[in-house]
Amino acid sequence: MGNVFGKYFTVTTFGESHGLAVGCVIDGCPPLIEISESDIQRELDRRRPGQSQISTFRNESDTCRILSGVYQGKTLGTPICIMVENKDQHPGDYDEIAKLWRPSHADFTYDAKYKIRDPRGGGRSSARETIGRVAAGAVAKKILKGVKITAWVESVNLLSMPAVQHTPTDEEINATPVRCPHLPTAEKMIELIKKARTMGDSVGGVIRCRMEGLPAGLGDPVFDRFEADLAKAMLSLPATKGFEIGSGFAGTRMFGSRHNDIFTLDENGNVTTKTNNAGGVLGGMTTSRPVDFRVAFKPTATIAKEQDTLSRDLKPVKVIGRGRHDPCVLPRAVPIVEAMAALVGVNALMSQRAITL
């Protein structure tokens, strides 16, 4: 249950961290979309481990293969299965982890729910599950012609970049491995992340994302609001604890007369708003202004410090994180946030097509 996302462009991800493979099947992809393994690989490479000194040392090439649904470089309208084999497995000794519950990990809740779990590398709860999401998102982006989705790291722990006046360029974002487009802040973030690793500790932060170029009217007014589907998409990512769109929590401290976005015409005579406190959505539907949201990521649960916990037979034990892990998940989460945003966007687009006779 719960491994399927999207009503129209329907993505099912599969795979455990140390099983044979991870990947996804996409059902509902429109036909005639040009897509290649290299299009997908480019996005996978952005989330790949082992990219820099601030990420995990697990070394996976994460080479994808399209098993079905694409013929002569174009989608057939049939299910697209994309598979990445797991290579750099350290089967090693998971006996310890199998017998206890690591703090703030899902070991305990897996045991509570299923009475069984794959202890190797977190099993299904590994960040490797997101490979299927990124692969599907790469296909979704191809469909969203004219739409630019840009995510970046806005804060790490207490370090927060200044408010942006424009959407950062890909170059600005990728200038450093931390994917914060404000260079002075980025450098401090890198220092902090390295320091956290040295201390055997971890840090969290906030990713911001903008979707530009969406037409007005996407999303539905009641339960399937564009922002509701975004919120679900983002909170479905590992380690996330919050979501806000537009003015978000800060907007709760404004008066209505200041918060309201005034409609006006832009230089081309198109409808726009003077401000975008709404974050690009009104009543659950897009306004054509940038959809602008933030996602909160908690500090990585795996730390190299010794912690108290319980064993499966309810005895107090000590545990110390030994696996390869990211001291800060945010830089690698940037393409994942974008992928999920793309999935939400494509589904809203197809939903709108369905009612347009």
Considering only residues 36 to 65 of the shown chain, the ones binding its own copies according to CB under 8 A are: 65
In contact, 227 and 350? CB cutoff 8 Å: no
Q: Is 87 in the site for its own copies (CB under 8 A)?
A: no
**Least distance (Å) from its own copies to the CB of residue 282?**
5
Pairing of strands 271-273, 240-245: unpaired
Q: Kindly report the number of other CB atoms within 10 A of residue 151's CB atom.
A: 26
**Least distance (Å) from its own copies to the CB of residue 241?**
5
Q: Is 212 in the site for its own copies (CB under 8 A)?
A: no
Considering only residues 9 to 28 of the shown chain, the ones binding its own copies according to CB under 8 A are: 10, 12-16, 19-23, 25, 27-28
**Least distance (Å) from its own copies to the CB of residue 134?**
14
User: How many chain residues are in contact with its own copies, going by CB under 8 A?
Assistant: 154
Region of 34-42, 43-51, 72-80, 161-169 interacting with its own copies (CB under 8 A) = 72-80
The 3-state secondary structure of 177-194, one letter per residue: CCCCCCHHHHHHHHHHHH
The 3-state secondary structure of 40-104, one letter per residue: HHHHHHHHCCCCCCCCCCCCCCCCEEECCCEECCEECCCCEEEEEECCCCCCCCCHHHHHEECCC
Q: Is 125 in the site for its own copies (CB under 8 A)?
A: yes
Considering only residues 91 to 120 of the shown chain, the ones binding its own copies according to CB under 8 A are: 101, 103-106, 108-110, 112-118
Considering only residues 176 to 195 of the shown chain, the ones binding its own copies according to CB under 8 A are: none
Token code pair at residue 163: 């408010």
In contact, 294 and 244? CB cutoff 8 Å: yes
Q: Is 71 in the site for its own copies (CB under 8 A)?
A: yes
Q: 40 or 228: whose CB is closer to its own copies?
A: 228
Token code pair at residue 92: 């090693």
The dihedral built from the CA positions of residue 346, 62, 182 and 188, taken in this order, carries a sign that is positive
Torsion of CA 231, 232, 236, 240, to 10 degrees: 30
Q: 30 or 213: whose CB is closer to its own copies?
A: 30
Region of 37-45, 165-173, 181-189, 295-303 interacting with its own copies (CB under 8 A) = 295-303
Q: 169 or 347: whose CB is closer to its own copies?
A: 347
Region of 39-47, 161-169, 182-190, 309-317 interacting with its own copies (CB under 8 A) = 309-317
Token code pair at residue 154: 């806005």
Q: 172 or 326: whose CB is closer to its own copies?
A: 326
